Amino acid sequence: MDVLGGCMDFMSVEQAIELADQAALASAHRHLTEVERMIVRGTWERLDYDQIAAQNQYATSYISQDSAPKLWKLLTEALGEKVKKSNLRKVLEQHWVQQRAAAARSRDFVESIYIERPPLETLCYETLLKPSALVRMKAARLMGKTSLVGRMLRQLEAKEGYRTVLLSFELADRQTHFTNLSRFLRWFCLNLTMELGLSDELDDYWNEEGLGAKVSCTTYLEQYLLAEIDEPLILVLDDVDLLFPHPEVYEDFFGLLRSWHEKSRLRKQWQRLRLVIVHSTDIYIRLNINQSPFNVGVPIELPEFTLAQAQDLACQYDISPNVVEDLCALVGGHPALLEQAFLHFQAHQDINLNHFLNSAVTEAGIYSNHLRQHWAFLQQEPSFLAPIQQMIQADTLVKVDPIIAYQLQGIGLIRLEGNCASLRCELYRQYFASLM
């Protein structure tokens, strides 16, 4: 039974390998070798040593008498209990459940913490009180968009009695929904219906052959969803930049959002729809100026934390604000990286700050997963590496191709100033410098 969600949830072999790798890294300061990963995978799948060796073209004696015993010894020391082939699955599953329970407690704690970024909260709140409101919120990933939006929605629900829906485009199947407008709009309508707790009446309003998908979607929203609720509806569309590579969908969908915003001038019912469009990158796609939702409404861009805000965050975690200046010199005002450090300090109260800062840029540091994800992203496209190397070496801003800049900015790797850029923080500069 899943202690977090109350339903059965099974650990996958990939999660088992990742957990074993994390344990090895924390204990022995190294990752599992390919052979060790192979042994964990085979053991998880209940293969014997002969089968593991044969599948991977190794001698059985090498697996059973050399690599496997060393792996079990490594994991025994890393996990703090006896590990062998017969109990590997049980031990890893127990540690996985414990990790998830600890993560849930951390999430509950973190969700109670919020750092004000005046005047952004007031601007967002007061805008959404107005009929026909549209807010455009932009920030790189992990900069706190979700926290700010969540805070606004809770306040609007509690104080104003508004209905709220947060719909992330991360939930869509990109191969299915992002390649066909009709499928995307039906997915959109069905998810909105479910979030509002209404029954699915889509087929009663959908007349694609006669009216087309856009009119069918609009009719469903106006004549059913908005008609069924009496309060203003705050609709937050998160991660809309995931649509940017798909003009077959975004051109019509973004035009539809603009048309709904314009309808409020003529129809009172549409005034109750308040839109929040959340994205991580600059708008590089080409849209008709009269059909774009990105040149109307109120723009809100989230900056990094200031030093004072970072110190306020430290105090909320019961961390001395004296450590903040040195930490910010490494990670800047990056909210997620600061929170990760403060949670680590809470768990290791005797930690040496200098040791922490020195190890943070290495594979042994707490940011290793975050840094490896960024490095993997850069490896996907060779054209990303040259500008990153320039930024590592330059003392000044570097001019970057606009499309590359948009992609690097979206994941939070760089900071843009006009047409030029720099790496977002010293952590990234030191880590990438060690690899390039």
Per-residue pLDDT 10s for the chain (436 aa) are 222 223 334 678 888 898 898 888 877 878 899 999 999 999 999 999 999 999 999 999 999 999 999 999 999 988 888 999 999 988 888 887 777 666 555 555 556 688 999 999 999 999 999 999 999 999 988 899 988 999 999 999 999 999 999 999 988 988 899 999 999 999 999 999 999 999 999 999 999 999 999 999 999 999 999 999 999 999 999 999 899 989 999 999 999 999 999 998 888 999 999 999 999 877 777 788 888 999 999 999 999 999 999 999 999 888 988 899 999 999 999 999 999 999 889 888 788 999 999 999 998 899 998 999 899 889 888 899 999 999 999 878 999 998 888 889 888 999 988 889 999 999 999 999 999 8
Separation of alpha carbons 95 and 100, rounded Å: 9
% helix, strand, coil for the chain, step of 5: 60, 10, 35
**Axis crossing angle, helix 145-160 with helix 120-128, rounded to the nearest 10:** 50
Q: Which residues pair with 299 in a beta bridge?
A: 136
Under CATH, domain 120-301 is a member of which superfamily?
P-loop containing nucleotide triphosphate hydrolases (3.40.50.300)
**Contact predicate 361/337, CB 8 Å:** no
CATH 3.40.50.300 positions along the chain are 120-301
Give the pairing type, strands 134-138 and 273-279: parallel
Cis status, amide bond into 119, omega within 30 of 0 = yes
Query: How far apart (Å, rounded) are the C-alpha atoms in residues 169 and 289?
Result: 23
DSSP state of 54: H
H or E, element range at 278: strand 273-279
- The values of phi and psi at residue 29, to 5°, are 60, 40
Q: What CA–CA distance (Å, rounded) separates 79 from 328?
A: 33
Edge-first strand order for the sheet with 273-279 is 163-168, 233-238, 273-279, 134-138, 298-301
Q: What is the Cα–Cα distance from 204 to 217, expressed in whole angstroms? A: 11
Q: Which residues pair with 420 in a beta bridge?
A: 399, 417
Unique residue bearing structure tokens 């697996």: 63
3-state secondary structure 326-392: HHHHHHCCCHHHHHHHHHHHHHCCCCCHHHHHHHHCCCCCCCHHHHHHHHHHHHCCHHHHHHHHHHH
Which of 163, 198, 195 shows the shortest CA–CA distance to 272?
163
Contact predicate 162/231, CB 8 Å: yes
The set of long-range contacts for 105-108, using a CB threshold of 8 Å and a minimum separation of 24, is 106/343
Residue 314 to residue 43: CA distance in whole angstroms: 43
The whole-number pLDDT of residue 178 equals 94
CA distance 418 to 368: 31
- Distance between CA 385 and CA 375 in Å, rounded? 10
Q: Shortest CA distance to 216 belongs to which of 181, 262, 267, 243?
A: 181
Ordered DSSP codes for 12-46: PHHHHHHHHHHHHHHHHSSPPPHHHHHHHHHHHTT
Q: Cα separation of 217 and 250, whole Å?
A: 15
Whole-model pTM?
0.73
Contact status, residue 284 vs residue 402, Cβ threshold 8 Å: yes
Nearest to 254 by CA among 352, 338, 195, 169: 169
Short-list 250, 254, 278, CA closest to 179: 250
Angle of helix 68-79 versus helix 13-28 axis, rounded to 10: 70
| CA–CA dist 214, 208 (Å, integer) | 8
On the CB side of 333, CA atoms within 13 Å amount to: 15
Sheet holding 414-417, edge to edge: 398-399, 420-423, 414-417
Q: How far is CA 198 from CA 47, 193, 194, 223, in A?
A: 48, 5, 6, 13
The Cβ of residue 350 has, within 10 Å, a number of other Cβ atoms equal to 4
As beta bridge partners, residue 164 has 234
Angle at 211 between CA 206 and CA 213, to 5 degrees: 60
Point out which residues pair with 417 in neighbouring strands: 420
